Structure 1
Amino acid sequence: MAGQTQRTDRVQLPETPPTSTPVPRWATRAVWALFLLSLTLLATVGFGGAEWRLPGYVAVDGLTVVSWAIVTFVSGIVHSYSRRYMAGDSHLDRFFATIFGFTLVVMTVTAADHVVLFAASWLGMGLAMASLIGHDRDWNQARAAAGLARRYFLASGGLLAGSLALLAWSTGSTSITGILAQAGTLPPAVFGLAVGGIVLAAVVQSALFPFQGWLLSSMTAPTPASALMHAGFVNAGGILLTRFAPLVAADSTVMHLLVVVGAASALLGQALLLVQTDVKRKLGASTVAQMGFMILQCGLGFFAAAITHLILHGFYKAYLFLSSGATVTQTAPTEKSRDELGLGGVVVSLATALGGGALFVAITGKGAKLDAGLFLALVVVLTTLHAARDVLGQSKLSARGKLASLPLVVVVPIGVYGVLFNTISGLLSTVPTSSAPTELSVVHVALGGVFVAAYVAVELGWHRSSKRLYVTLLNRSQPAPETVLTSTEDYNES
């Protein structure tokens, strides 16, 4: 009002004193050095077509160097971010030692060719993540969350170790390369048990339905650890299935099972996301959905597409977690988040979505044939349709601004995705069965219909009109009670 002044004083938080221990500094430098090494190997091994092997023990191929580049980059960001975020923590050295050790173990998983080394590093990866989830051991809730996650990871490690032991015994080879070379000679019973164990290990590690409980209960982890978990750890399921693609893709029943589990997880994650108000739980539900899409792409036979998906998801989810504090302060509820678009808006949205799907098919060639690529193209169309509806529904933009924004929604993201997809496909060209599209089946058609119906239901707001459905989804998205911090005093005591 006129004649009144408004105070704009800001409270300056005290600078966090630099830590005296050298561990954070040296760990950060070391992980960035690993990133530079990974880029060098990516240029020579990935783009150069060369491979480096220690026969029977280590195999550095296209999948390895792509994974190394992504893992070390995300880990480097997390290390750098944590030097200030975790400053003053009473267990700072242990935290940095764990996240650096976790990085090394993940790199070992992607390069291991010996079954014992692979199984041991897989288990070590899970135990390191469980330690990060329960980093603050003064919290009963953190210890409970770590214990819950550890049980899941021990089960995943046990399933994988048992499967690898069975494969090694049946083939007489202790190397993954040797086992995959004899994939066609495995007895049906051995094949079923081994592949079933590998698939279950991937599903548990990626927090897919019905094993999403450990992820939704992991919110006691420090935010940098959560970023590393959601951007890297859960992606291990897709890397595992891609590494064992010759076995997994050999049976259409297994592939259809992956599609069903992936689709169920994607739909469940999206449904849980709709009813969440907590920032980190929304991100957790989103990760369940995105991992579902990743496993679904493996089930369609597009393993390179799954790796592309986990790369994009890893970058985006790491950013969202590390910026989650800003989201809390900048987000405020509004009475009306979307304008009524009318018939014209619906037509423009549909045209944009179909254009996005056509661009994806033109760039990648997926969906141009009567195979599982059509399902993948449908997912792209629905994703583009959702993005277009969001742009057109933004009340802050003028009608002309909304229409002008649509090319950015379609051309840039779809173009980037298509180019990255082709690049990753080229890098994985030496990896066995990196692309094995399955035939279009009744399962794909039925699930396509379910996806379309789910999209329509969300657009019509059916999840808000049914109290029973809302309560069911809200209950399903709750973490284990013993892992929930219910009092502010719990925070203050840490």
Structure 2
Amino acid sequence: MTTTPLMWLMLAGPAALLALALLPAGNPRRLAGLARGGALISLATAAVGALLVALGGPLATPVLPGFGILFDALTAVMFLLVSFVGSIVVHFARNYMAGDPGHARFTRLLSVTLASVLLLILSGNMAMFLAAWVATSLGLNKLLVFYGDRPAAVLAARKKFIASRLGDLCLAVAIGMVWEVTGALEFSGVFAALKGITASGETPASLTLAAVLIAAAALLKSAQFPLHGWITEVMETPTPVSALLHAGIINAGGFLALRFSPLLQLSTPSMDLLLIVGGFTALFASVVMLTQNAIKVALAWSTIAQMGFMLLQCGLGAWPAALLHIVAHSLYKAHAFLSSGSVVDIARASWSPSPGGAPHPARLGLAVAGVIAGVGIVGTLSGFELAREPGLFALGAILLMGLTHYIAQSIDTRPTGFVIARTIVVAAAVAGLWFALQSGMAALMAGTLPEAANRTDLVALAAIFAVVAGFALLTIGQASFTTAKPGGATPEWVRAFYVHAHNGLYVNALANRLVLRWWPTGLQVRR
């Protein structure tokens, strides 16, 4: 771990964004332009920092007592990601909010929130991390109630506030326990102490509890079941908020798990908590997503599922895979939200009917079996071992199940040798790319994130089987399930389940009632 004065540059972007809160309103578009400049400064310094890490390894710079920077490979990837997405969102917001009476106020709030996320990523010690963690949440809450006269926005913000305060409490207590055991606040000192504890083979009970609390904080931040409902109701906020939330802020839970991964890997209960809750949420939200008609609501349920999938990867100890998932999801979701207004037109323009209609469940089942077998073959040829890394193969199988409809359609009616060969080549190429990206990210994070846990215990294997089987069944039944609207020709029990799934099994409705009972908004809210 080395130090360099250049690390001070990393604070230039966040400092510029924070300074906007002190400027007079003036011309809102000029203020928005300054915000974009601050975001671009962050992006430029992120590139410089990444280059320094690539050339010389991790960098740490103490700034003030309780305030310092840790710039390792994990920081470099996340700082580049958030700076890039943030600069796009800020630029988009400049035109999107033009003419809104609250344009200047929105720019200030967006800038402060983005700066808080960047400082969270840069944090070199746990005290600064906690402060930025809380500031990020408070800034987001202000953005969620930007239009304070909208009842749905107020209700969503209050549910988010409750979940966030629970997460803050979990993280604060956990940090206190870690500090007490390791005697250090700087991450470098904490990680060094954890290496000694790992070598001794005896983990203090307080560290095990701290790891469980950190896992709980990550779940709460990532909108996981059952406190997930707030994220599906934030559509009353301006679109740039949704883009920054789903592509940046929501990843704070995953970043927390990755930053504290050396501690989490010492605690089997914390890994099991991430594995079970994340896996269940991924399946649950994926089912609900298929029943949604509004584009942005469906994207919100997709985010819940993707975060669950990412935390499932953390629970399996596949840390590089989880980071790769964060990067891919952020880029995709930022584009999805910022272009959501044209999604319908794009879908209509690109739609073409399948020659045989919806694929038959039998063909889908054959395609799923082919995908699973193909992942096993390609993964083995790529140098991975199924017996040692079952989680990685399972994650690849779940990801590549997105190709099942493509494969099923290729054998739908009168398949030719060329079509079948092309389909096999494409599927194998995607599987090979998945394993190549995994290898690349693992090499990039070597020495920063712990080596993959490669869990093969009973709990992990049971969770892997349940999640893979669940996604396989969901993929096979997707064609009939998505058309099972009331009044359709599908079986009665399928239509009934469709209605219940469309309402998220009423978990969020129950949360709404509880919040409105104990913290009424004073506004008329549709329950």
**Equivalent position of 2:501 in the other structure:** 473
Of 440, 443, 463, 2:459 maps to 443
State the alpha-carbon separation in 1 of the partners of residues 335 and 407 from structure 2: 21
For residues 248 and 342 of structure 1, what CA distance do their matches in structure 2 show?
Answer: 41
1:36 and 2:47 matched:
no
Change (3 A) 1:349 1:268: closer
Query: CA contact under 8 A between 1:392 and 1:403: conserved in structure 2?
Result: no
Q: Are 1:181 and 2:192 counterparts? A: yes
| Residue aligned with 1:126, SS | helix
Question: How many aligned residue pairs are there?
Answer: 462
Quote the sequence identity (%).
27
List aligned pairs for 1:5-404, cutoff 5 A. Answer: 21-45=29-53, 47-55=54-62, 57-183=68-194, 184=197, 188-331=204-347, 338-340=357-359, 347=366, 350-363=369-382, 365-366=383-384, 368-371=385-388, 373-390=389-406, 392-393=408-409, 399=415, 403=420
Amino acid at match of 2:128: L
The CA distance in 2 between the partners of 1:416 and 1:153, in whole Å, is: 37
Measured after TM superposition, the shift of residue 323 of structure 1 is 1.4
Q: 1:10 — aligned with what?
A: none
Instruction: Evaluate the alpha carbon distance shift between residue 254 and residue 348 of structure 1 in structure 2; reply closer, same or farther with a 3 A threshold.
Output: closer
Following superposition, the deviation at residue 394 of structure 1 comes to 8.4
Deviations 1:230-254 (A, max 9, x none): 1111111111111111110012232
Q: Give 1:318 deviation, angstroms.
A: 1.0
Report the CA distance between 1:345 and its aligned residue: 7.1
Corresponding residue SS for 2:292: coil
Letter in 2 for 1:456: L
**Match of 2:16?**
none
In the alignment, the residues of structure 1 paired with residue 127 and residue 361 of structure 2 have an alpha-carbon distance, to the nearest angstrom, of 60
In 1, the alpha carbon distance for the partners of 2:218 and 2:454 equals: 20
Structure 1 residue 415: Cα displacement? 4.2
Corresponding residue for 1:4?
none
Deviations 1:183-210 (A, max 9, x none): 3288633123311211111000011112
Post-superposition CA distance 1:316-338 (Å, at most 9, x none): 11111111111244556999875
Query: For residues 147-172 of structure 1, what are the alpha-carbon distances to aligned partners after superposition, in whole Å with 9 as ceiling and x for unaligned?
Result: 22122212212211121122212332
CA contact (8 A) 1:370 1:439 kept: no
SS in 1 for 2:207: helix
Paired with 1:381 and 1:49, the residues of 2 have a C-alpha distance of 37
Q: Flag the 1:349–1:298 CA change in 2: closer, same or farther, 3 A.
A: closer
Distance 1:166 1:265, change over 3 A: same
Q: CA separation of 1:340/1:111 partners in 2, compared to 1, >3 Å: closer, same or farther?
A: closer
The aligned residue for residue 487 of structure 2 is: none
TM-score (norm 1): 0.84
Task: Measure how far apart 1:452 and its partner are.
Answer: 4.1
Secondary structure, counterpart of 1:135 in structure 2: coil
CA 1:442/1:328 → structure 2, altered by over 3 Å: closer, same or farther? same
Amino acid at match of 1:112: S
Please give the alpha-carbon distance, in whole angstroms, between the structure 2 residues aligned to 1:453 and 1:430: 34
Q: Give the distance between the partners of 2:28 and 2:189, measured in 1 at CA.
A: 49
Q: What are structure 1's unaligned runs of at least 5 residues?
A: 1-18, 485-489
What RMSD in Å do the two structures reach over aligned CA positions?
3.2
> 8 Å contact 1:349–1:389 — kept in the other structure?
no
Worse-matched range after superposition: 108-117 or 325-334: 325-334
Q: What SS does structure 2 have at the residue aligned with 1:393?
A: helix
Q: Distance in 2 between matches of 1:71 and 1:89?
A: 26
1:318-371 Cα offsets, whole Å, 9 max, x none, are 1111111112445569998753358677656643553344334544x44x1523
| Aligned equivalents of 2:436, 2:291: Cα separation in 1 | 34
Aligned-partner SS, 1:182: helix
SS in 2 for 1:219: helix
Match of 1:460 in 2: 477
Q: 1:436 to 1:384 in 2, by over 3 A?
A: closer
Q: Name whichever of 106-115 and 420-429 sits farther off.
A: 420-429
**Runs of 4+ off more than 6 Å:** 332-337, 342-345, 394-398
* SS class of match (2:70): strand
1:203 is matched by which residue type in structure 2? L
Change in CA separation of 1:132 and 1:105 when aligned onto 2, cut-off 3 Å: same
- Cα–Cα, structure 1 residues 38 and 404, in superposed 2: closer, same or farther, change >3 Å? farther
Distance across 1 between alignment mates of 2:429 and 2:111: 35
C-alpha contact (below 8 Å) 2:167/2:220 kept by paired residues: yes
